[in-house]
Amino acid sequence: MPKLTLYNRDGEKVNEVEVRAELFAAPMKRGALYQTAVAQRARRRQGTASTKGRSFMRGGGAKPWPQKGTGRARHGSIRSPIWVGGAVTFGPHPRNFGYRIPKKMRRAALCSALSDKASEGKLIVVDDFKIDKLQTKAVVKLLQNLKTSGKVLLVTARADENVIKSARNLPGVTTITAPQLNALDILNHNYLVLSQDALDKVEEVFGA
């Protein structure tokens, strides 16, 4: 079984932990990773853009001038799309952009993302985050000790208010619980930092 280095909050190596090979040493499946990431981004789109077609416009019921005799171009409505203040042709309307991806493909994408981070040495396991009170500098110190850079995804076993609120005003730092872990968030961050109990939870939820 592959092993990951276990660090303490001071960034010191304290042990090694065995992890599931199907999660952290899986072959890279770029197709599944791409399809899953695109589907996740599509589901996150609001889809609230809306424009008015001719049937939604007020006014324009009367013909602005007679069809013939004025010398001007013929028009049937002041709400025509070619008029200023008129309707929009083929404009967007509220819709749901999401679509489903097979469960096996989503799991393959997650395993590929986790394995890629592990192979690059950018998956870090900490014995315990242990933040007793709301304190942003505690998270800053933790990340400095672990020598992370760029965007960091902190993973906890369950919702930890102290960790969430201490990290939420740090640019590039995101917190997530282990059951919510997904391929897109892993791809969007440079480092993945898990507590030891979060690692156990990931294996419990996704390792079956």
Q: What was the pLDDT predicted at 78?
A: 95
Instruction: Tally Cβ neighbours within 10 Å of residue 161.
Output: 9
Q: What was the pLDDT predicted at 158?
A: 92
Domain ranges of the chain: 3-28+109-206
What percentage of the chain carries pLDDT values higher than 70?
A: 100
Q: According to the CATH classification, is domain 3-28+109-206 in 3.40.50.2000?
A: no
Spell out the residues 6+ positions from residue 187 whose beta carbon is closer than 8 angstroms to its own: 33, 37, 113
pLDDT digit string (tens) for 95-114?
999 999 999 999 999 999 99
pLDDT band (50, 70, 90) for residue 208: low
pLDDT digit string (tens) for 9-50?
999 999 999 999 999 999 999 999 999 999 999 999 999 999
Q: What was the pLDDT predicted at 88?
A: 96
- Per-chain mean pLDDT for the chain: 94
pLDDT band (50, 70, 90) for residue 65: very high
Bridging pattern class, strands 123-126 and 13-18: unpaired
Any idea which residue has 């960034």 for tokens? 11
pLDDT band (50, 70, 90) for residue 207: confident
- In 3D space, the residue among 163, 165, 197, 157 whose CA is nearest the CA of residue 181 turns out to be 157
Q: What is the DSSP letter of 27?
A: P
pLDDT digit string (tens) for 165-203?
999 999 999 999 999 999 999 999 999 999 999 999 999
